[in-house]
Amino acid sequence: MSDFKLRVVCLGAGYVGGPTMAVIALKCPHVEVKVVDLNVSRIAAWNSDSLPVYEPGLDEVVKSVRGKNLFFEVISEEDTSSIRNADMIYISVPTPTKTTGIGKGKAADLKWIESAARMIGTEIKEGHKIIIEKSTVPVKCSSAIKTILAAQKTEATFSILSNPEFLAEGTAIQDLMTPDRVLIGSSPDPKGIESRDVLVDMYATWVPRERIITTNLWSSELSKLVSNAMLAQRVSSINAISAVCEATGANVKEVSRAIGYDSRIGPKFLKASVGFGGSCFQKDILNLVYLASQLSLPEVAAYWENVIKLNDWQRKRFTQKMIQTMFDTVSNKKIAILGFAFKEDTGDTRESSAIPVCCTLLEEGANLKIYDPKVPKQQILDDLTAHGCGDKLKQVVIEDSALSAIEGAHSIAALTQWSEFIDLDWKLIATKVMRPRLLFDGRNFLPHEELHALGFNVFSIGRPPLRTKAHPTSAGVAGFPFEPAKLSATVRLLSEDTGSGKSTPRNTSPR
Q: Which residues are catalytic?
A: 280
Asked whether the beta carbons of 428 and 352 are under 8 A apart, the reply is no
Q: Edge to edge, what strands does the sheet with 70-74 contain?
A: 70-74, 31-37, 6-11, 88-91, 128-133, 157-162, 182-186, 212-216
Alpha-carbon distance 129 to 511, whole Å?
Answer: 66
User: What number of other Cβ atoms are within 10 A of residue 504's Cβ?
Assistant: 18
Please report which helix (H) or strand (E) contains residue 414, including its range: strand 411-414
The beta strands (E) that lie in 437-502 are given as 437-441, 456-459
Alpha-carbon distance 317 to 67, whole Å?
Answer: 50
The DSSP result for 119-152, as a single string, is: HHHHH--SSEEEEEE-S---TTHHHHHHHHHHHS
3-state secondary structure 305-373: HHHHHHHHHHHHHHHHHHHHHCCCCCCCCEEEEECCCCCCCCCCCCCCCHHHHHHHHHHCCCEEEEECC
Tell me the three state secondary structure of residue 419: helix
88 backbone dihedrals φ, ψ, rounded to 5°: -125, 140
Name the β-bridge partners of 232. Answer: none
Which letter does DSSP use for residue 387 in this model?
I
Query: Residues of 321-330 as b/e, b for ≥16 C-beta within 10 angstroms?
Result: bbbbbbeeeb
Alpha-carbon distance 396 to 381, whole Å?
Answer: 8
Query: Residues of 135-147 as b/e, b for ≥16 C-beta within 10 angstroms?
Result: bbbbbebbebbbe
Tell me the three state secondary structure of residue 501: coil
Q: Which residues have C-beta within 8 Å of that of residue 381, sequence separation ≥ 6?
A: 393, 396, 398
The beta strands (E) that lie in 12-87 are given as 31-37, 70-74
β 212-216/157-162 pair status: unpaired
Asked whether the beta carbons of 70 and 22 are under 8 A apart, the reply is yes
Alpha-carbon distance 56 to 65, whole Å?
Answer: 17
Helix axes 298-325, 354-363, angle to 10 degrees: 50
3-state helix, strand, coil in the chain (%, to 5): 45, 15, 40
Asked whether the beta carbons of 276 and 269 are under 8 A apart, the reply is no
